[in-house]
Amino acid sequence: MLKLLCSSSSSCLNTKLHTLPALRSGPTEFTSPLLKALSSLRGLTLRSPNLGPRAFFCSDSSGDGSDQVVHVEGKATDSDAEEVESKSSSAIVPTNPRPEDYLTVLALPLPHRPLFPGFYMPISIKDRKLLAALQESRKRQAPYAGAFLLKDEPGTDPSLVSGSESEKNISGLKGKDLLDRLHEVGTLAQISSIQGDQVILIGHRRLRITELVNEDPLTVKVDHLKDKPYNKDDDVIKATSFEVISTLRDVLKTSSLWRDHVQTYTQHIGDFNFPRLADFGAAISGANKLQCQQVLEELDVYKRLKLTLELVKKEMEISKIQESIAKAIEEKISGEQRRYLLNEQLKAIKKELGLETDDKTALSAKFRERLEPNREKCPPHVLQVIEEELTKLQLLEASSSEFNVTRNYLDWLTALPWGNYSDENFDVLRAHKILDEDHYGLADVKERILEFIAVGKLRGTSQGKIICLSGPPGVGKTSIGRSIARALNRKFFRFSVGGLSDVAEIKGHRRTYIGAMPGKMVQCLKHVGTANPLVLIDEVDKLGRGHSGDPASAMLELLDPEQNANFLDHYLDVPIDLSKVLFVCTANVVEMIPNPLLDRMEVIAIAGYITDEKMHIARDFLEKTTREACGIKPEQVEVTDAALLALIENYCREAGVRNLQKHIEKIYRKIALKLVRQGESNEPAITGVQVVESEEAQVERAEGLSEVGGSETRSDPVEDNSHEQATETFVEAGTVPMDVLDDQSQYPADPPSDSKDVRETKKMEEREATITSEKVLVDPSNLTDFVGKPVFHAERIYGRTPVGVVMGLAWTAMGGSTLYIETTQVEQGEGKGAIHMTGQLGDVMKESAQIAHTVARAILLEKEPENPFFANSKLHLHVPSGATPKDGPSAGCTMITSFLSLAMKKPVKKDLAMTGEVTLMGKILPIGGVKEKTIAARRSEVRTIIFPSANRRDFDELAANVKEGLEVHFVDDYSQIFDLALGYDQDAGN
């Protein structure tokens, strides 16, 4: 039944009409505006055995929203009801002729929402002719027009069109164009007032456009629409209206805007029935205009009520969301205000009790407390600066920018470990053990570190040094620095200066700059908490230079043992003692480091690893680490030594082991995938129809089935025999159908949960056993399946060296390599002597070729005076791998030998490689990269090497495993090379 509503200003009537107590026979006053509107529902005869009399709701004839009366009679007749209806009136002033007599009206376009009967709507009319026509209609006592909703412009989104744009679109429409854009169904509107271009309309009844009468202003013929007949006592209509009223009542509790609509409506409508209820709900809802137009066009009262119910239900949900949002924001704001008030009260209480002082005093106390443990070790000049800044802090306002600068400055000053040194461990044996654990080989590097520790032990203290580890990528320079810190029991800090172009990263910013920060060294000391850490400066050979200065020059003070005892950071502006810091720098190419900076370093060259060392590193460290990272057990895979050797020789020839680690990881990833695929393929199909079991499991299952079958069908021998036959058939086939398993699972030997857990455990054990049993073997035969085709091939291009071809030894950033030098005769003729060079040779190598050509002519003249080869031959010298740039002062000897081999038509002695630069007088100059070139010679299966005598000591310092199997000759003059390379008996064989 109908639920009575009330506004927030009045007391709510919480009972429905069919549950109301017996109403008093006297008049009852209702002050709620909405109740005045909804209490005027007419023609509703509410019958209930608990009520007795009938109730009629009506408003007084004044229509001014005054008191409404409920008449209660013991017996009511139809005439009584008609009398009550006749007394009910509307606020609309009656006109003559009546509204239904208007069949031709002016058409007013409504841009935003349709006008519902009984509602006000102000509209703005820009068309002067239409406005004049409306004013003329009022003067002729015919203040009526048709209000029709404007359709959206085709191809536009109505939600994205602003109100101003809609008004512009309306003003541009005239005549038939405007008629086509209007909805057919609209509202007969009474023109209440006209003020300027603002027209106030009051809706009366529904209209439908039938014919165009006049285009300017737009005048149309209309039909007055009436609601379809309906049964006022229909329970479905009553229930729908009750739900609309109930929902409206709930919305009115939360929305003050709706209450304003209700007050306006009650002042201008008195006839409130089911159709009016539907119009009322749709009109005050926030639905879009098309939904409202759909309600306006609906003439079936029940369908209109249903449409309105949907709209008000949606409005109710929006009101709930709005209420929850408002509540959340209110709680947040009130919580913050409460917290602020409590904090202020707490501060006031603490201040009264003397428990806490203001912020500046608390900050000063914090800084003093932080400095207290190191006060005795702190230098006097630093203490003086700190005290001055603390005094300055007390004089500054907390809101000033200078206050924050001073506070940050004191924060850094008091956070540094002034005079706080960590206890070092000078145990040489322990350090040697740690270095051997972390790195294989690198004997010279380890020896230098042990020397440093030994000196520190004898002196009782260690002086900071600057060590530069130089070598190719991947040889372990950074990890060596970490191992040194662990061996010395020092804190470790690493920062890279590769590409660094800002001096402030080293020396810090001035405090006056916004966002100023100290340099990396000050940040390092604060991070590690000690004044004697090990600082690893990575990629020192890649320092940049930009508009912010030259960082390489700024590093001079940092890395100078004589200057860094008083290192001055621009931010702190007080000297810092860095003499106890151990600096370890890393670089790939020492030549790229500026000479003044290189002069302050002690360079330790790390040439790289030979094949044997790579084998040990791969087997003892890389493979173990990778296997654990992939979750593979040692018994599941075997990588043979031959496979590792092939991997090193054919895929990873560089000096370091980083690429080798990547390839080993690639192998183990593929092994992991293979093991997982094998395990999944060997798992039993749980969802299939049949489960394949082993023979023992089949026998056990058959025995269990026989026993169960005997216990079930012992009274029936026929069924027992058939069951046994079926079981035997299943055993012979090696499968057990799932339906049989399900039948037997009704009689388990153990509780169902336990047997299920046991089965799951057995499945997991079988799966693990299956994976474990499948051992993967990696050997040279299947290595390509894991890492693809070999990247490198034999560096030895020629099995037997041709005439004019000599193998040289070169140094590269990735280690050593062999380098063939080839010479051939292009043209021969009197006076044709010349040389042409290819192979991307640098300036140094081009000069070496010219020198070699001159020296070769002199030697040939000495050895074979009658041979005019160089005078009459145009030669072409080429160094293969033309895409690779080549330069360096160590190819002169090789080029001379190549020229002489071609001139004398005599190949170089077999398995011979040489290196060294030569002068015009034939003297041999020393070269660099002895270890790298020796490793390259061993990799190319060279048996004899020719080195300059000046490099004898470098070769002697090499490890025995590097020199193993090599015959080395040290020469001072090229004549010795000639005897070794070409001075052999050709008839005896090469």
84-88: average pLDDT: 38
Q: With the C-alpha atoms ordered 614, 620, 626, 627, is the resulting torsion angle positive or negative?
A: positive
Q: What is the mean pLDDT of the chain?
A: 76
What is the spatial distance between Cα 109 and Cα 88, in angstroms, rounded to a whole number?
Answer: 33
pLDDT score at 102: 75
3-state SS of 845-869? HHHHHHHHHHHHHHHHHHHCCCCCH
Q: In a 10 Å sphere around its CB, with 0-12 CB exposed, 13-18 middle and 19+ buried, how is residue 308 labelled? A: buried
Phi-psi label, residue 65: left if phi above 0, alpha if psi -120 to 50, beta otherwise:
left
Question: Does residue 477 have a known ligand-binding role?
Answer: yes
| 876 — pLDDT class (breaks 50, 70, 90) | very high
Q: Residue 21 is inside which H or E element, if any?
A: none
| 482 — pLDDT class (breaks 50, 70, 90) | very high
Q: Phi, psi (5° rounding) for residue 221?
A: -90, 145
Nearest CA-CA partner of 484 in 500, 501, 462: 462
pLDDT score at 847: 93
* 805-982 under CATH 3.30.230.10, yes or no: yes
Q: Please state the length of the chain.
A: 990
Kindly report, residue by residue over 112-148, the tens digit of the pLDDT: 888 888 777 888 888 788 888 888 887 777 688 888 8
pLDDT score at 169: 59
What is the spatial distance between Cα 310 and Cα 81, in angstroms, rounded to a whole number?
Answer: 32
Which member of 246, 890, 898, 901 is catalytic? 890
Q: Check: pTM over 0.85? Answer yes or no.
A: no
What is the spatial distance between Cα 813 and Cα 625, in angstroms, rounded to a whole number?
Answer: 27
Higher-confidence residue of 135 and 862: namely: 862
Higher-confidence residue of 524 and 52: namely: 524
Whether 653 shows a pLDDT value over 60: the answer reads yes
Side-chain-side CA neighbours of residue 911 (13 Å):
11
Using only C-alpha atoms, the chain has a radius of gyration, in whole angstroms, of 51
Amino acid at residue number 988: A
Whether 613 shows a pLDDT value over 80: the answer reads yes
Q: Which of 251-265, 305-319, 410-424 has the lowest mean pLDDT?
A: 251-265
The token pair at 282 is 């749709």
Domain ranges of the chain: 3-224, 235-325, 359-415, 428-605, 611-787, 805-982
Whether 333 shows a pLDDT value over 50: the answer reads yes
Question: Does residue 590 have a known ligand-binding role?
Answer: no
| 31 — pLDDT class (breaks 50, 70, 90) | very low
Side-chain-side CA neighbours of residue 581 (13 Å):
32
Fold of domain 611-787: Helicase, Ruva Protein; domain 3 (1.10.8)
Q: What percent of the chain has pLDDT over 90?
A: 21
pLDDT score at 285: 75
pLDDT score at 607: 77
Whether 77 shows a pLDDT value over 80: the answer reads no
Q: How far is CA 80 from the centre of its chain?
A: 78
Nearest CA-CA partner of 242 in 161, 305, 304, 162: 305
What is the spatial distance between Cα 69 and Cα 78, in angstroms, rounded to a whole number?
Answer: 19
Q: Phi, psi (5° rounding) for residue 813?
A: -65, -20
CA angle 319–322–325, rounded 5-degree value: 150
Nearest CA-CA partner of 447 in 480, 419, 476: 480
| 878 — pLDDT class (breaks 50, 70, 90) | very high
Phi-psi label, residue 989: left if phi above 0, alpha if psi -120 to 50, beta otherwise:
left
pLDDT score at 730: 34
Domain 235-325 CATH class label: mainly alpha
Kindly report, residue by residue over 736-782, the tens digit of the pLDDT: 333 433 443 333 444 444 455 666 666 666 655 555 556 889 999 99
In this structure, the number of other CB atoms found within 10 A of the CB of residue 41 comes to 22
Q: At the fourth CATH level, which superfamily is domain 428-605?
A: P-loop containing nucleotide triphosphate hydrolases (3.40.50.300)
Whether 948 shows a pLDDT value over 70: the answer reads yes
What is the spatial distance between Cα 557 and Cα 694, in angstroms, rounded to a whole number?
Answer: 78
682-686: average pLDDT: 48
Which member of 88, 507, 933, 940 is catalytic? 933
374-396: average pLDDT: 88
Kindly report, residue by residue over 518-544, the tens digit of the pLDDT: 999 999 999 999 998 999 999 999 888
CB 646 within 8 A of CB 779: no
In Å, how far are 5, 30, 33, 260, 948 from 9, measured between CA atoms? 12, 12, 9, 12, 110
| 26 — pLDDT class (breaks 50, 70, 90) | very low
In Å, how far are 103, 157, 235, 282 from 276, measured between CA atoms? 23, 31, 18, 10
Whether 293 shows a pLDDT value over 60: the answer reads yes
pLDDT score at 4: 35
Question: Does residue 475 have a known ligand-binding role?
Answer: yes
Task: Choose the most confident range, by mean pLDDT, from 7-16, 72-81, 353-362, 869-878.
Answer: 869-878
Higher-confidence residue of 471 and 34: namely: 471
Task: Choose the most confident range, by mean pLDDT, from 189-203, 504-518, 721-735.
Answer: 504-518
Domains 235-325 and 805-982 share a fold: no
552: which residues sit within 8 A by CB, 6+ positions away? Answer: 543, 545, 593, 594, 597
Question: Does residue 473 have a known ligand-binding role?
Answer: yes
pLDDT score at 335: 84
Domain 3-224 CATH class label: mainly beta
CA angle 39–42–43, rounded 5-degree value: 140
Q: Is 633 a catalytic residue?
A: no
What is the spatial distance between Cα 637 and Cα 227, in angstroms, rounded to a whole number?
Answer: 88
Mapped onto helix, strand or coil, the DSSP state of residue 806 is strand
Q: How far is CA 123 from the centre of its chain?
A: 53
696: which residues sit within 8 A by CB, 6+ positions away? Answer: none
Q: Which of 156-165, 519-528, 537-546, 904-913 has the lowest mean pLDDT?
A: 156-165
Whether 949 shows a pLDDT value over 80: the answer reads yes
pLDDT score at 2: 32
| 655 — pLDDT class (breaks 50, 70, 90) | confident
In Å, how far are 105, 518, 529, 807, 969 from 952, measured between CA atoms? 119, 49, 47, 20, 9
Question: Does residue 476 have a known ligand-binding role?
Answer: yes
203-213: average pLDDT: 83
Q: Is 16 a catalytic residue?
A: no
Task: Choose the most confident range, by mean pLDDT, from 21-25, 547-551, 615-619, 760-764.
Answer: 615-619
Q: Which of 296-305, 473-482, 663-672, 791-800 has the lowest mean pLDDT?
A: 791-800
686-715: average pLDDT: 40
Q: Residue 113 is inside which H or E element, if any?
A: none
Helices (H), 815-929: 843-863, 869-872, 892-903
861-868: average pLDDT: 89
The token pair at 690 is 């049949």
Higher-confidence residue of 352 and 417: namely: 417
DSSP tag of 621: I
